[in-house]
Structure 1
Amino acid sequence: MKLYDNQNSYSKKPSVITIGTFDGVHIGHQKIIERLVKVGKNKSLESVVLTFFPHPRMVLQKESNIELLNTIDERKDLLSKLNLQALVIKTFTVKFANLSARDYVKRVLVEELNAKHIIIGYDHHFGKNRSANIEDLKIYGKEFGFDVEEISAQDIKDVAVSSTKIRNAISNGELQTANTYLGYPYFLTGIVVRGKGLGKQIQFPTANLQIKEDYKLIPKNGVYVVHSVIDGLTVYGMMNIGTNPTVNGTSQSIEVHFFNLDKDLYDDTLKVHILSRIRDEQKFQSVALLQEQLKLDQEHALKYISVYE
């Protein structure tokens, strides 16, 4: 998959395009992109996903505390695995939002992307104030020489339902439900930074994950079964999201204890896949009682992993 953004322009190859945020790149999105790739092969067109960043609500509703399933880099990585030929990321600005529908179609879809076939949802709106719809796009198609294929209402509903259920499930700590709709384990990506060292003192050393993107949806506080790929090997562990109330912590942290791993991970970029939730975060009367609970959590995690593998 080739990536086109502000640094490099699209190649102008005749294309089949679908347009959207594709947050999560979940099973509903995957179905649409599978259709896109098939049409591209049948019509000898380059299969292109057109997406936008920042998310329009980040620009047009700045007070909106939007939470997304993927960072833009995570989205790129997920889309790259779907046999697409090109991903075009347009920078979303107020100026871009103010383009008329016709100017958007002419400048972006036709002149920049050389669209010959567009696959889009029946409820798609575009142009200034989202004033144009799919019927307008079909009229522009006749003017500019591209076909418009409508994604069915049922498929669009499936996408919307999946996205809502995934966000709700993650917010509620129901990772197995979320992962079913995603088609892969939900994951967090961040840099390993130094923590207070408490985990090491009680024989549960942790990698402290710092996520720079404040729009990334973080699961509900609690303890989770996780895995990461480190040096090409899958390593399992357990992760705590929370404030460490036992030691009077106040700010949220994300700490991962890997089983059977002796490696300095500081400053490494780590992708942590979340498999299942073990329990809520708790405040214990002593660090010793916390340590005993962590041993039980590890037993729980190891039993889960033995079935998961």
Structure 2
Amino acid sequence: MKVIFGVEKLKLQKKKSIVAIGVFDGVHRGHQAIIETIVKDAHDLKVQSVVVTFEPHPLEILVPGAHLPILTGFDLKAKLIERMGVGLLLIIKFTKKFSQMPAQAFIDEILLKKLNVIEVVVGEGFRFGKNSAGDIQLLTNYGRERGYAVKSIPLVYVGGKAISSTRIRELLERGKILEARKILGHYPKLIGKVVQGCGRGRDIGFCTANIETKDKDSVPREGVYAGFVQLNGEAKACVVNIGGCPTFNVKRPRIEIHIIGFDKNIYGNKIEIEIVENIRKQKKFKDKSSLACQIEKDIAKAKKLLCGKFTEFNKYGSIGQAKKA
């Protein structure tokens, strides 16, 4: 997938395009329905599939402080979109100036002139342009004049409720990983860089990797989880600790993983973590020996929980990735 940051860097596309537009925070099943449509239609018509998204989230600019934490930072969002087979990802920097672009100008200058669009796919209730004046009806009417088609994808429901980023966020805050997976279409993911820690894990007999991530807002609540880490395209089982370290009186939130059966230097590596299931809440132990004993139990439980899931990872490129019908 080709990634372009900024409309000014986008060259005129000679190949015709089918375009999906949205923020796509979380790339959940509702978003997947939109993106799957452009990938299929582009394949059928032998044209280019394009996702147009915005950074930062428009509400961060339009209503500073009002927007809830994002679910997926850019790196993770781009990776999830790429895995769906999209050809081009265009990231438009959302500014106050850009927010004043009229809806018709957005269509003419970006969709038609730059992307050579023949079909636009959006979600139900989509709005765009200055003062959110653009809607699906305007997009459709303008398409009749300009020669492109429009598809509106209806909301996706799970458990009788429409999927939304807010609903996913609430589930993560409650540590409801399996419920979040049903809505996301995949287990919660994090992407981060391995950085130097204090070495406490090694002191008690367990090598750990401290993860620095821009996606802290998408992290589930504090606790210990079973998951997978992807290193150089290979999935490895791990135990993930989210939060502080009560036994050592460390209150500063952090993400720390123990990769089961792995003891190599990976400082500086960017890795992807997939959180599969909660093991236990955080707890303060009386000493290092008691903590080490509990970690042994955590590892044993993680192995049991993750048993059999490697096959799913190898088949779909991601543990628990939503299967296509």
TM-score, length-scaled by structure 2: 0.86
Q: 1:10 to 1:256 in 2, by over 3 A?
A: farther
2:311 aligned with 1:301: no
Superposition RMSD in Å: 2.4
Aligned counterpart for 2:173 among listed residues 160, 171, 194:
171
Bigger CA drift: 238-247 or 79-88? 79-88
Task: Using the TM superposition, give the Cα deviation of residue 301 of structure 1 relative to its aligned residue in structure 2, in angstroms.
Answer: 1.2
Task: Using the TM superposition, give the Cα deviation of residue 303 of structure 1 relative to its aligned residue in structure 2, in angstroms.
Answer: 1.6
Paired residues, number: 308
Task: Using the TM superposition, give the Cα deviation of residue 10 of structure 1 relative to its aligned residue in structure 2, in angstroms.
Answer: 4.9
2:75 and 2:191 in contact (8 A); partners too: no
Match of 1:256 in 2: 257
Task: Using the TM superposition, give the Cα deviation of residue 184 of structure 1 relative to its aligned residue in structure 2, in angstroms.
Answer: 2.5
Match of 2:274 in 1: 273
Q: 1:23 to 1:203 in 2, by over 3 A?
A: same
Task: Using the TM superposition, give the Cα deviation of residue 287 of structure 1 relative to its aligned residue in structure 2, in angstroms.
Answer: 2.6
Match of 1:5 in 2: 5
Match of 1:283 in 2: 284
Task: Using the TM superposition, give the Cα deviation of residue 157 of structure 1 relative to its aligned residue in structure 2, in angstroms.
Answer: 11
> Which stretches in structure 1 are left out of the alignment for 5+ residues?
none
- For residues 235 and 118 of structure 1, the distance between their equivalents in structure 2, rounded to whole angstroms, comes to 39
Task: Using the TM superposition, give the Cα deviation of residue 284 of structure 1 relative to its aligned residue in structure 2, in angstroms.
Answer: 2.0
Q: 1:69 to 1:239 in 2, by over 3 A?
A: same
2:30 and 2:163 in contact (8 A); partners too: no
Q: 1:12 to 1:189 in 2, by over 3 A?
A: same
- For residues 252 and 246 of structure 1, the distance between their equivalents in structure 2, rounded to whole angstroms, comes to 14
2:214 aligned with 1:197: no
Task: Using the TM superposition, give the Cα deviation of residue 31 of structure 1 relative to its aligned residue in structure 2, in angstroms.
Answer: 2.2
Q: 1:155 to 1:104 in 2, by over 3 A?
A: farther
1:255-279 per-position Cα deviation (integer Å, ceiling 9, x unaligned): 1111111201212212111111101
Secondary structure in structure 1 of the residue aligned to 2:197: coil
Matches within 5 A, 1:1-309: 1-6=1-6, 7-64=9-66, 66-152=68-154, 160-161=162-163, 163-213=165-215, 216-309=217-310
Q: 1:117 to 1:223 in 2, by over 3 A?
A: same
Q: 1:307 to 1:151 in 2, by over 3 A?
A: closer
Identity of aligned residues (%): 34
Task: Using the TM superposition, give the Cα deviation of residue 240 of structure 1 relative to its aligned residue in structure 2, in angstroms.
Answer: 0.7
Q: Aligned partner of 1:134: which letter? A: I
Task: Using the TM superposition, give the Cα deviation of residue 65 of structure 1 relative to its aligned residue in structure 2, in angstroms.
Answer: 5.6
- For residues 159 and 176 of structure 2, the distance between their equivalents in structure 1, rounded to whole angstroms, comes to 22
2:190 and 2:215 in contact (8 A); partners too: no
Q: 1:115 to 1:252 in 2, by over 3 A?
A: same
- For residues 163 and 301 of structure 2, the distance between their equivalents in structure 1, rounded to whole angstroms, comes to 32
Q: Aligned partner of 2:212: which letter? A: Q
Task: Using the TM superposition, give the Cα deviation of residue 183 of structure 1 relative to its aligned residue in structure 2, in angstroms.
Answer: 2.6
Secondary structure in structure 1 of the residue aligned to 2:168: helix
Q: 1:289 to 1:153 in 2, by over 3 A?
A: closer
1:105-136 per-position Cα deviation (integer Å, ceiling 9, x unaligned): 22122222222211223411111111222112
2:30 and 2:155 in contact (8 A); partners too: no
1:187 and 1:274 in contact (8 A); partners too: yes
- For residues 122 and 273 of structure 1, the distance between their equivalents in structure 2, rounded to whole angstroms, comes to 29
TM-score, length-scaled by structure 1: 0.90
Secondary structure in structure 2 of the residue aligned to 1:184: coil
- For residues 152 and 302 of structure 1, the distance between their equivalents in structure 2, rounded to whole angstroms, comes to 39
Q: 1:153 to 1:193 in 2, by over 3 A?
A: closer
Q: Aligned partner of 1:3: which letter? A: V
Q: Aligned partner of 2:5: which letter? A: D
Q: Aligned partner of 1:119: which letter? A: V
1:10 and 1:88 in contact (8 A); partners too: no
